[in-house]
Every structure is written in C-alpha cells, then in structure tokens.
Structure 1
C-alpha cells in the first residue's frame, strides 16, 4: 500500500538519495534547478509517496514561477519514483495528485521540462511554451505546459523567473558561512 502525502522534514534526506539515484549528479546542472535554487516549493505542493513501512518511494514538487509578461504559474519537478516501484503507476498517481492540488489552490498553469510522450496524458504540450524561454540551456521540444484554468497562459511571453518563497537561513548559519 502506497500513501501520497505532504512532504515532511524527515523525508528530505531520503528524497535527496532518491533523486541522486534517479538523476545522478548531473541533476544540479539543469536549467530548471536554477529556478529552484534558494527557494521553497509552492505551499502545499511538495508531495511524498511512502510505502507501508514509511519508506520514501516517490517524490514530486511544484515551484512558484512567473514570466516577464507577468503570468504566474508553477514549475513541476523533479518527479522521481524508486527503481523498484517504476512501472507501477506511482509516477502517474503523483502527477494526478499534484495537478489536482494545484488546481484546488487556484493555480492556473504548470510548466516543466520533460518527455512529451509521458506528460501528454496529463495535458502537457509545447503549444503554450512557444513564446516562453528558460534562463539557460534546454531542449525546446521538452519545454511543456498544462493549463489548469483555460486561458491562464494567454499572452504569456518572455523569460520564466523564480518567484517562490526564498529559503531563509538562521542568522547563526549566515554568520558561520561568512567566516
């Protein structure tokens, strides 16, 4: 039995291990990582999938972004499922849950960089990203969007920028880091 729930602090180290196994060290070099750096996931949109023993077997986060044309949206990623659970439908369940939550919270659109054949089933396509760009290298055919609310990306253009809550480090950490 797998349960999808909000991510908790105890999930974070297991999440990093899962992401390292799924994507390797190159994951930190991706353009989308630049939009996540120093930011917190969108409120209520960091999900963990845990098995009956409480082990983390899947993760998905959504991040607040905006465009230079003033269109707010979410950035999805990364989505990862443990090797032993791949092919079980867990990735799809995480996607459906995340999109449902995002719509319930009033978000209008979700963008991602990923495999169009996989994400098409959730409503993602390149048609709404043709006038948008990311701040770094990416494969244009993998830059996808899904509107959760019809017309949410009408007129959207320009560069995608991070807009989410910034991570605030404790003063003690900042002082130690500066020394």
Structure 2
C-alpha cells in the first residue's frame, strides 16, 4: 500500500532558485522566456512576501510568484506567474492550493488587484476574468482574451486604461543570471572590473 505524502504550501526559500528554475523548465520549456509577461518580470524581484512553493519531503513540486506592476491608470497591482507544478504531481490540487494561498496573502497585505495572462476557463474559479482589462495593454503583442484580472478590492480596476509596467525592485547587480550546463538559469555573483 502506498501512502499519500503531505504537500506543504509555504513561502519560497532563497536557496530554491535552481530547483525553481528546473521546475519551470520542465513545465514550460524555453518558450517561457519569450512570453510578453516575462518582460514585466525580467531583472525584477518578486513582490515582497509573495513567492510561494509547494513541497513534498523537501522537494519543490510547485511554484507561484507575484510581481509588482502598475496597471495603467489603476496604479499599483500585482502580476501573477508563472504558476507551475511538476508534471508528475499534476491533478492533485497543488496549483489550486498555490493560487488560494497567493491571493489570500496578497489581499492580507493590502494589494488591490492581481493580473495574469492565462486561460480564463481555468482561472475563473479563482475570481479572474477579462472585466477591467479591456483598456489595459501589455508591453508587446498579447492575446487580449488571455489578459485576466481579479479585483481583491471591488472597483480597483474600474476605468483602468494604459500600459501595464513593471515597478518591482530591480535585481541587485551583484547577482547575474546565467545558464548552467543543463541550460537552466542560475544566479551567481557578478564579477567586478578591476
């Protein structure tokens, strides 16, 4: 008899960068770097306290991060993504648990709205829809039907229009993203010129 192990949803830990990148590679492959939403995350740190992990016996099996953005005239908001679950662990409710935890924590911290680019049929159950996004634009080509929002404060995106832009902290220059021999992104200290 196989006993189901406990999946823990918790804050991401700093030492999990390589495991997280490997998980994202397995879930999405290299196409993830070409997505327009990646432009809003590139060279930025995730929103403070809003990076989550799902783990089983210390192994990272799911990840979700939120990022600080301006939603045009609506002002400060969050961008959700990427949400990923190890392919071997799909169908166990891990993605839903990560979503619930992230949205709950974002609301608790006083954030007003969360945006994402994704499938409305999937994200609708978490309160996401195209309502409030019809006059917002991503910094590149995007499918308008996939730009979704969840208002944590009713009316937060009412009348919002304009370009969605990144506002999060810039990754310190002491860290440089590079690829290891497996093609995964890792961070290493920058070399300083003499």
Normalising by structure 1, we get a TM-score of 0.94
Deviation at 1:126, TM superposition (A): 0.5
Matches within 5 A, 1:3-82: 3-51=8-56, 53-82=57-86
Runs of 4+ in 1 over 6 A off after TM superposition: none
Instruction: Give unmatched runs, 5+ long, in structure 2.
Output: 1-5, 176-188
Normalising by structure 2, we get a TM-score of 0.87
**Relative to structure 2, which stretch is displaced further, 36-45 or 64-73?**
64-73
Please report the RMSD computed on the Cα atoms of aligned residues, expressed in angstroms: 1.5
**1:113-139 Cα shifts (integer Å, max 9, x gaps):** 001100000010011100101001111
1:175 aligns with 2:169: no
Q: Distance in 2 between matches of 1:116 and 1:174?
A: 44
Residues 88 and 9 of structure 1, relative CA distance in 2, 3 Å threshold: same
**1:69-105 Cα shifts (integer Å, max 9, x gaps):** 2511000000000111101111000000000000000
Q: Which residue of 2 aligns with 1:131?
A: 135
Q: Distance in 1 between matches of 2:71 and 2:153?
A: 17
Q: How many pairs are equivalent?
A: 176
Deviation at 1:156, TM superposition (A): 1.2
SS in 1 for 2:26: helix
Instruction: Give unmatched runs, 5+ long, in structure 1.
Output: none
Q: Distance in 2 between matches of 1:10 and 1:95?
A: 22
